[in-house]
Amino acid sequence: MGADFWSPAYELIGTMEKGIAVGEDKGATAVGTNRPDVLGSAHDLSDWLDENPIK
């Protein structure tokens, strides 16, 4: 598998890292919350991995 295949996964991982870089959980209702970056991207990555199994 080449870079074209893995690019979407790395993009989601990058989004998670951006959210974690904040250093603390801003909370679900905080303005500019980092939860969608961290948790949403983790969920999307899980879905992507389910849809693109490696044999």
pLDDT tens for each residue of 23-51: 889 888 999 899 999 999 999 999 999 99
The pTM of this model reads: 0.79
- What's the CA gap between 36 and 32, in Å, rounded? 10
DSSP, res 49: H
What DSSP element (H or E) covers 20?
helix 3-20
Q: Which residues contact 19 (CB under 8 A, 6 or more apart)?
A: 34, 35, 36, 37, 38, 41
